[in-house]
Amino acid sequence: MSEPVPSPQRFALTLAYDGGPFNGWARQPGLPSVQEAIESALAVVSRQELRVVVAGRTDTGVHASGQVLHVDLDAAAQAKVGVRDGAEPVEVTLVRRLNAVLARSTGRAVLIHSARPVPPGFDARFSALWRSYTYTIADGERRWDPLRRGDTLFHARALDVDAMQAELDSLLGLHDFLSFCKPREEATTVRELQGGEVVRGEDGLVRVHLRADAFCHHMVRTIVGALVAVGEGREPSGWVGRRLGERTRDAKTKMVAGHALVLTGVGYPDDEVAGARAKATRAKRAAL
């Protein structure tokens, strides 16, 4: 009787990337993507064609400092990853070898911070409890710094941070964010905005911090666009909350540029309940 084939080991990887050279996270024919860069690097170190699952797909030009993905490595792939490096755990060798390949293929635009083995039920997307993003704005030419042009929006008009915070407060909670999303077929636009803050840092830059259970397509950039409209006085106080209630996309729906947006983190439950969280999230999305 043949011995049973062991199940693949799932690994969760935390990574960062400069979104400037890429046409977003997801693979697209003939265009560079973060997903393609990582899966190509995995093919080099594992000698297998592997697919990854990411916590949140980012748009063209959007950056990440705390993105998370998962990938399954069978025994053969783990052996290839760990070749000549048996003295250290596979996850340590995996990070080191992936970063060596990515340094050559992307010019260090993508960096793997860490890897860890997780239970088979863990899902980088569906197990997540929250995602957080930060959007950075330099309002007024005196704050524009050419060295920050790749991750900061240069905005000509001064912004009222307190007015923007008041508008953001009206969005907190569970709502249908259709007015701030690009709907996808058979996908819900109901999300829970769990936290939000608009602050002006010691460097004078305005930063919008948002955290939600998940974000629908273009949601962060459209929310920031609406906050800017009130912050510069183009729209009156209370306009953002009214837009939320209208549940419509029209000419007033404006997005800010993607290059000033960073996915800063993803939160997960403990490993022993990550699988249950993934099942519950899938069931909830299906019901909606």
Query: What dihedral do alpha carbons 217, 218, 219, 220 form, nearest 10°?
Result: 130
User: What would the pLDDT profile of 20-75 be if each residue is shown by its tens digit?
Assistant: 999 999 999 999 999 999 999 999 999 999 999 999 999 999 999 999 999 999 99
> What pLDDT does 249 receive?
81
> What pLDDT does 83 receive?
73
> What pLDDT does 1 receive?
45
Catalytic-residue membership of 59? yes
> What pLDDT does 58 receive?
96
> What pLDDT does 3 receive?
54
In degrees and rounded to multiples of 5, residue 161 shows phi and psi of -65, -40
> What pLDDT does 250 receive?
79
- 10-residue mean pLDDT series, the chain (288 residues): 72 98 95 98 97 96 98 96 79 97 98 97 97 98 96 97 98 96 84 97 97 95 97 96 89 90 98 92 65
Average model confidence (pLDDT) across the chain = 93
> What pLDDT does 286 receive?
57
> What pLDDT does 116 receive?
97
User: What would the pLDDT profile of 4-28 be if each residue is shown by its tens digit?
Assistant: 567 899 999 999 999 999 999 999 9
The one catalytic residue among 59, 123, 139, 151: 59
> What pLDDT does 287 receive?
54
